[in-house]
Amino acid sequence: MDRTYIMVKPDGVQRGLIGDVIHRFESKGFQLLAAKLLHISRAQAEKHYAEHVGRPYFEDLVNFITSGPVMAMVWGGDQVVPISRMMIGKTNTLEAQPGTIRGDHAVHTNRNIVHGSDSPENAEREIAIFFTPEEIMSYEKVIQKWI
Torsion region of 98: left, alpha or beta (phi above 0 gives left; psi -120 to 50 gives alpha): beta
CA pair distance 102, 23, nearest whole angstrom: 15
Q: Which of 23, 39, 48, 115 is catalytic?
A: 115
Q: Which residues contact 115 (CB under 8 A, 6 or more apart)?
A: 5, 6, 7, 9
Q: What does the alpha-carbon distance between residue 75 and residue 146 come to, in Å, rounded to a whole number? A: 18
Respond yes or no: is residue 48 known to be catalytic.
no
Please name the helix (run of DSSP H) or strand (run of DSSP E) that holds residue 25, with its range, or none: helix 18-28
Per DSSP bridges, beta strands 70-77 and 114-116 are unpaired
- Compute the Cα dihedral for 9, 51, 123, 35 and give only its sign: negative
Residues catalogued as catalytic: 115
